Amino acid sequence: MKSIGIFYGSSSGNTETVAKQIQKGLGADAQVFEVSKAKKEDLEKFDNLILGTSTWGFGDLQDDFEGFMSQIEAANLSGKTVALFGCGDQESYSDTFVNGMGQVWQALQNKGCKIVGQTSTDGYSFSASDAVVDDKFVGLAIDENNQSDMTDERIAAWVETLKSSLS
Ligand SMILES: Cc1cc2nc3c(=O)[nH]c(=O)nc-3n(C[C@H](O)[C@H](O)[C@H](O)COP(=O)(O)O)c2cc1C
């Protein structure tokens, strides 16, 4: 596998913890960046990108990730393989569950990258999510508020699929 950069935005630490677990699962070659300290040149260094944000407000991107969107827009991501993950709360925010991940997916359209790592919505209960496209999540959805007991298992299964879908 070629190089992997994991970029996350996290306000209360959940997405950060998930990012580090993904790194651990993928092995030492994966580098982790907190997005407020990252630039478009950091994104461009890697063949594979894994981008993670939580969702705040009502369906808004996490603050630091919001600021990072201009770097994603400016970056040349052509030919890269990208996987997405997001943290949210399906009970309290059932209409906007992990919408932030959907916004990142939207920003990657027409960037010339290949998006991998879509997951089933089975096992979640929510009304609406911008992160669901063609009946699947566009990436890995984690709910530490209501289903923290499933987090390790979900991450492990996702990382296994990434091992064969990252380039
Ligand atoms: C004020 C507030 C607003 C939130 N809004 C949403 C939301 O719209 N959609 C969602 O899925 N989760 C929402 N959440 C849940 C967070 O995304 C969730 O707690 C997440 O794990 C936080 O991750 P972080 O610590 O990495 O920022 C909200 C939480 C709070 C406290």
Domains of the chain in start order, with CATH, are 4-165 (3.40.50.360)
Q: Under the phi-then-psi rule, with left for phi > 0, alpha for psi from -120 to 50, and beta for the rest, what region is 35?
A: alpha
Instruction: State whether the beta carbon of 15 lies less than 6 angstroms from ligand 1.
Output: yes
Distance of alpha carbon 121 from alpha carbon 137, whole angstroms = 6
pLDDT of residue 2: 85
pLDDT for 28 beyond 70: no
The share of the chain scoring above pLDDT 70, in percent, equals 99
Distance (Å) from CA 162 to ligand 1 centroid = 25
CA terminus-to-terminus distance, the chain:
6
CA 166 to chain centre: 14
Closest-lying ligand 1 atom to the alpha carbon of residue 53: 26
**Mutate which of 12, 53, 55 for ligand 1 pocket (most atoms within 8 A of beta carbon):** 55
pLDDT of residue 29: 80
Residue nearest to atom 18 of ligand 1 (CA): 88
Distance (Å) from CA 165 to ligand 1 centroid = 28
Instruction: State whether the beta carbon of 10 lies less than 6 angstroms from ligand 1.
Output: yes
Q: What is the mean pLDDT of residues 4-18?
A: 98
Q: Which residues of 82-109 are buried (b: 16+ CB within 10 A; e: fewer)?
A: bbbbbbbbbeebeebbbbbbbbbbeebe
pLDDT of residue 1: 66
Residue type at 39 in one-letter notation: K
Q: Mind listing the pLDDT tens digit for each residue in 41-86?
A: 999 999 999 999 999 999 999 999 999 999 999 999 999 999 999 9
Mean pLDDT of all residues in the chain? 97
pLDDT of residue 27: 86
Q: What is the mean pLDDT of residues 135-161?
A: 98
